[in-house]
Amino acid sequence: NYYNICGMAVCAVLIFSTLVRKIHKGKLGKIYFMMLLSVFFSSAFDVVAVRLDNVTSELIPLKYFANIGYLFFHNLTGAMYSVYIIAITDSMHLVRNRRLLKTAYWIPLAAVAVLLVVNLFNGCLFTFDENGIYKRGEMFLVLYISTAFYIVFGMYYLFKYRKTVAFDRWIALMLVVPVSVFSAFIQLLFPEMIIEIFMNAISIMFVSTIVQRPEEFLDVETGARNETALISDTKRMFITGKPVDMILIKIINYQNMLDYISSEDVSAIMRKIVSFLYEKSESMKMKNTDIYFQKRGMICIISEAEYHDRISGYLNEVMEYLRNPIVVSEISLNCDVSVCSVRCPEDIDSFE
């Protein structure tokens, strides 16, 4: 049980770090945070389950509750890991648009949920004897098959779209698999060696350290994503064929601003513009819209294709905002802008 406690402690530190660094926001951040919570809860339930193994049979209902919670969150972790890989390779649209793939994804998790309920009546997954001793059921192997399915599901996209992920990140994501498989195999052969949750927590720690580093793609002056992020994200889009709407805003008098007012005031103006763009995309329910800022006064907005019907209204709101003076440090400035809206990949042939 000490391994589980250590695993839970590692997850608790990662959760705290994630909240402090504010990397639980955005599509990828939310998926990562849910995966992290899943590992934490599976370890917490397992700690309780193992602890209850040492008490009398009078607490059988609580033992069932702890073990069901552990098995559910344990399998949910595998499902969330595959979603995380699909999200980081920017291939979510490929799954979302194919009914067969969507159905296949949900079947194992739904089957496990049903079996956990049915288990209360027939002990198909696990049960307790008259002495309150935990016994695995005939269908316990289904849980490992479910986890294996999600590993293969995620690995398929990680290998197919290898070029969408930097090499160090790819290696970190790959390491999760052998570590998880090895620990699961050891625990399957030797149930008394409870190391699986701890090893999963260590794997997630590697992902947090190497993969989940949004600070690298943030423009600290404006709060938008930076030029490196724009290059990386658009490259992934063209590799996976993701359909998006792209709005390009060029602030023509950007250099004049730098010549006549301080760079701090210019940054403040850019922050106001970026903040408005984010707020407007949220108010129009354009989820996962990304804003990018380039140092030459270029702003790029990338919105998912499902919100194409809202782009015209969004553009009108943006242009209306930019026509009005922006006040900063008691200075009122007008932005001279040019705007271009394109659909990708229809209107742009390639990343280059």
- pTM attached to this predicted model: 0.85
3-class SS letters over 101-155: HHHHHHHHHHHHHHHHHHHHHHCCCEEECCCCCEEECCCCHHHHHHHHHHHHHHH
Helices and strands, counts by H and E, the chain:
12, 8
Q: Spell out the residues 6+ positions from residue 325 whose beta carbon is closer than 8 angstroms to its own.
A: 332, 333, 334
User: Can you give the length of the chain in residues?
Assistant: 352
CA distance 106 to 11: 26
pLDDT by residue (tens digit) across 170-179? 988 888 888 8
Name the token pair of 68: 């069901």
Identify the pLDDT of residue 56.
61
Region 23-34: what's the mean pLDDT?
83
Region 191-216: what's the mean pLDDT?
79
- End-to-end alpha-carbon separation of the chain, Å? 54
Identify the pLDDT of residue 69.
93
Predicted confidence band at 130 (pLDDT cuts at 50, 70, 90)? confident
Find out whether 273 and 335 touch, Cβ atoms under 8 Å: yes
pLDDT by residue (tens digit) across 71-123? 999 899 989 999 999 999 988 888 888 888 889 999 999 999 999 999 999 88
Region 184-188: what's the mean pLDDT?
76
Region 4-14: what's the mean pLDDT?
85
Share of the chain above pLDDT 90, in %: 23
Q: Which residue has the higher pLDDT, 18 or 150?
A: 150
Region 55-78: what's the mean pLDDT?
86
Q: What's the burial of 34, exposed, middle or buried (CB within 10 Å: 0-12/13-18/19+)?
A: middle
Which of 42-51, 63-72, 325-334: highest mean pLDDT? 63-72
Enter the DSSP assignment of 256: H
Find out whether 109 and 79 touch, Cβ atoms under 8 Å: yes
Q: Is the peptide bond before 345 cis (omega within 30 degrees of 0)?
A: yes
Q: What's the burial of 285, exposed, middle or buried (CB within 10 Å: 0-12/13-18/19+)?
A: exposed
Q: Which amino acid is at 266?
A: V
Does the pLDDT at position 352 exceed 70? no
Does the pLDDT at position 57 exceed 70? no
Exposure b/e, 60-97, CB count within 10 A at least 16 = b: eeebbebbbbbbbbbbbbbbbbbbbbbbbbbbbbbbee
pLDDT by residue (tens digit) across 257-315? 888 888 888 888 888 999 999 999 989 888 888 999 987 889 999 998 888 889 989 99
Predicted confidence band at 347 (pLDDT cuts at 50, 70, 90)? confident
Region 132-147: what's the mean pLDDT?
87
Does the pLDDT at position 339 exceed 70? yes
Find out whether 329 and 267 touch, Cβ atoms under 8 Å: no
Q: Which residue has the higher pLDDT, 152 or 218?
A: 152
| Mean pLDDT computed over every residue of the chain | 86
In the chain the beta strands, taken as DSSP E runs, fall at 126-128, 134-136, 244-251, 290-294, 298-304, 326-328, 331-333, 337-344
Share of the chain above pLDDT 70, in %: 97
Region 134-163: what's the mean pLDDT?
90
Does the pLDDT at position 351 exceed 60? no
Q: What's the burial of 284, exposed, middle or buried (CB within 10 Å: 0-12/13-18/19+)?
A: middle
Predicted confidence band at 219 (pLDDT cuts at 50, 70, 90)? confident
